[in-house]
């Protein structure tokens, strides 16, 4: 479509006006002030208007597990609990049980067990958190899934981005997903049990 020059100019002017409006209108140029007649008192300058106080951004809403941990006094690991459990339960239906120390829970290990259902696949997950390390909280999680396929088929189909990592012992194969991420594949009846484990330092 051909745009006429006058239309392009109008569009550009509107864009500039919109940008100026978004950024805040410029202050009008000050006009020269007339001197008051002799004998007239000068008007007292008015105090500058106080600007609006900036409101702090709202705190992120805690998920159920992070809120439950907060309610019993866990402080150091709440952010890590939120991060890991959000990752594990994203777009799933899940239930959980939280383990906390009966005394001074903020200074001890916190752990949770989860049932996670995604479509037709159900899995068990466990995540534990300890107030240690440079970031204030170390964590690890494991997810356990039973597959009706052989372990070779599971490795090729469900964990395509993982590299072979040898055997753990006689029958459990390992797959490597990074420096602190492993998948263990264990034959179980006619199928295979996968255990994915990651440690977060």
Residues 118, 173, single domain; the answer is no
Q: Is residue 94 part of a domain?
A: yes
Q: Mean pLDDT across the stretch 51-55?
A: 67
The model's confidence at residue 106, banded by pLDDT at 50, 70 and 90, is very high
Tens of pLDDT, residues 6-45? 323 322 222 222 223 333 333 333 333 444 445 544 545 5
Last residue of a domain, one of 126, 143, 160: 143
In this structure, are 68 and 137 located in the same domain? yes
Shared domain check, 158 and 137: no
Residue 88 lies in a domain: yes
Residues 105 and 165 grouped into a single domain:
no
Mean pLDDT across 139-164: 96
Say what the pLDDT of residue 46 is: 54
Do 104 and 167 sit in the same domain of this protein? no
Residue 113 to residue 88: CA distance in whole angstroms: 11
Kindly state whether residues 73 and 114 are assigned to the same domain: yes
Interval 81-92 mean pLDDT: 95
Report residue 42 as tokens.
């000068």
Q: Is residue 121 part of a domain?
A: yes
Q: Which two tokens stand for residue 10?
A: 């109008």
Same domain for 100 and 125?
A: yes
Q: How far is the C-alpha of 53 from the C-alpha of 195, rounded, in Å? A: 52
- For residue 98, give every residue at least 6 positions away whose Cβ sits within 8 Å of its Cβ, in sequence order, or none: 65, 68, 69, 110, 111, 112
Task: For the full predicted model, state whether its pTM sits above 0.85.
Answer: no
Dist. CA 125–CA 115, nearest whole Å: 6
Domain with 139, as residue range(s), is: 62-143
- 110/174 same-domain check: no
Mark whether 122 and 157 lie in a shared domain.
no
Pick the last residue of a domain from 143, 162, 183.
Answer: 143
Q: Are residues 68 and 119 in the same domain?
A: yes
Average pLDDT over residues 158-175: 96
Contact 123, 145 (CB under 8 A): yes
Closest CA to 72 of 94, 103, 44, 45: 103
Rounded to an integer, the average pLDDT of 89-102 is 95
Please tell me the total count of domains within the chain.
2
Q: Is 170 found in the same domain as 135?
A: no
Is 122 a member of any domain?
yes
Query: Are 107 and 133 members of one domain?
Result: yes
102, 121, 143 - which closes a domain: 143
């Amino acid at each position: 479509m051909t745009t006429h020059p006058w239309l392009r100019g109008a569009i550009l002017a509107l864009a500039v006006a919109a940008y100026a409006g978004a950024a805040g209108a410029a202050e009008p140029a000050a006009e020269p002030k007339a001197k008051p007649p002799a004998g007239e008192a000068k008007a007292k300058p008015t105090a500058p208007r106080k600007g609006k106080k900036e409101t702090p951004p709202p705190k992120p809403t805690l998920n159920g597990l992070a809120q439950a941990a907060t309610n019993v006094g866990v402080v150091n690991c709440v952010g890590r609990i939120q991060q890991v459990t959000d990752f594990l339960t994203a777009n799933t239906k899940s239930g959980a049980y939280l383990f906390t120390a009966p005394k001074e829970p903020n200074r001890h290990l916190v752990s949770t067990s989860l049932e996670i259902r995604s479509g037709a696949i159900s899995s068990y997950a466990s995540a534990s958190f300890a107030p240690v390390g440079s970031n204030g909280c170390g964590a690890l999680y494991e997810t356990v899934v039973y597959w009706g396929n052989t372990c070779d088929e599971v490795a090729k189909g469900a964990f395509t981005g993982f590299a072979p990592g040898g055997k753990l012992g006689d029958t459990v194969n390992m797959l490597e997903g990074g420096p602190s991420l492993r998948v263990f594949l264990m034959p179980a009846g006619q199928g295979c049990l996968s255990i994915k484990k990651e440690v977060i330092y």
